Structure 1
Amino acid sequence: MQTIKYDSAEFFTSAQKYSQCPSDIGSEVAFAGRSNAGKSSSMNALTRNSKLARTSKTPGRTQLLNFFTLSGGDFRLVDLPGYGFAKVNRSMKADWEENIGEYLAERVSLKGVVLVMDIRHPMTDFDQRMVEWAVQAEMPMRILLTKSDKLKKGPAKNTYLKINNELRSRAPWLSAQLFSSLKKEGVDQLSQWLTEQLTEELE
C-alpha cells in the first residue's frame, strides 16, 4: 500500500459553491459532521497541525468546502461545512446543504467520507441521512466516535460495538471507530482507513 504523510497536509482552496471546486481528478476523502462534533479537531489531530482546520466554540464556522492537498500524489482531504448550524439564516443553511448534496452526488474523485459524531450524542437525524446516502451510493464511510475520552472505557466500547454492528449489518463498506483528538487515540486507525480509500484504484 502506498504511504501517505498526513502531516504534509496544506490548505489548497475553498469553494462556496460546487462549481468552484478544484479539478475533479485524483482521490479525496471528505470529513462531515455536526458543527460541534469535533470535526476540525479530528482533522488537526490526524495531520498533527493544530491550525489546519479552524476550530471555534461558535458552531458553523466552516461555511465553505475547504480542500487540503497531501504530498505523494494527487490526494486531498475535504472539510465540508458543519451541519446543525446554530446562528445562520435559513437561506444560507439551504445553500450549504444544497452544495454539500451536489458535491456528494457529483464528485468523481470522492473515494470515501469520514462522518464525525460526538460519542455522547451519536446518530442524529442528519447523521442517519448521511449513513443512508452512503448505503445507497455504495460509498465507503468511516464513523469517528469523537471525544471518547469523555466516557469511561466500558461505556465507550459498548457504544462503539453497538454502532459498528448496526453499520456492518447495513453495508460492508460502513465502519466505526473510537477517536480522541485530545489524547490522539485512533489516529493510526483513521490514517490506515484513509490511505486504503485514497489509493484503492492505484493498487
Structure 2
Amino acid sequence: MVLDLYKSDNPRAFWQNLRVLPSTFDAVLEKIRQNLVFSSPGSLWPQLPVNFQLAITLYHLWRNGNGASVESIGQWAGVLAGCVVKSTWWVMQAVLDLRDNIMSDVTVWEKEDAKKTVEKLSCKGWRDGWCMVDGTTIPLEWKLGLYGEGYFDRRSSYSLNLQLIGLPNLRIIDYEIGHCGSAHDSTCFKDTKTS
C-alpha cells in the first residue's frame, strides 16, 4: 500500500511511514538498485524487489521500542521476520558501498569557503572550526553479548553512535558509525578521514 498508493497519491502518508519524501526514496533507490548484494544467482529463494527492501529498511530504521521488533515490522510489510533482517542488512550494505562514490574529499577551495562562512557567521577565532559534527544514537534491539555494557547510553538503552560531519553549506563530507552509544563526539570524529 505504501509503495502502490501513498507514493503517488498521498506523499504525506508515504512520509509518515518511511520518513522520506517519494523523490528522496526514488533517488536512493536509483543509487543502490544495481548493487550486487541484491543479486542472488542460483538461490532457490529470490530476494524481494529492491524497492520493497528499501521500504522495509526505512520503516525499520525509524522504529523504536515495541514497534522496533522485526516481527512487528514483518507484519507491517507482510513478510517474515528473517526477511526484515536480511532486507535491512542488504540495503545498509548497498548504502555503505556508496561512501566513496558520494562523499568526495573536501577541496582546498571548499575548505576555505567553509572557513570564511564560519568567520562571517561567528567570529574570527572560530575560523578553523570549519567542520560541523552532529550525531545521534541508533537503538539496538538487545544488549550485545560481548562488551554489552559499553553500549549502554545516557538514555538507559543499548545503542551505537552515528556521527555526521558536514560543512556550513550542509554538505555531508564524512560519517562514523559503530562507537558505543556513550561515546563522545570527539571520540567518533577522530576515527573519520576528515579529522
TM-score range, shorter chain: under 0.3
Hey, which of these two has a bigger chunk of helix by percent?
2
Pick the structure with more strand per residue: 1
Larger Rg: 2
Higher relative contact order (CA 8 A, sep 6+): 1
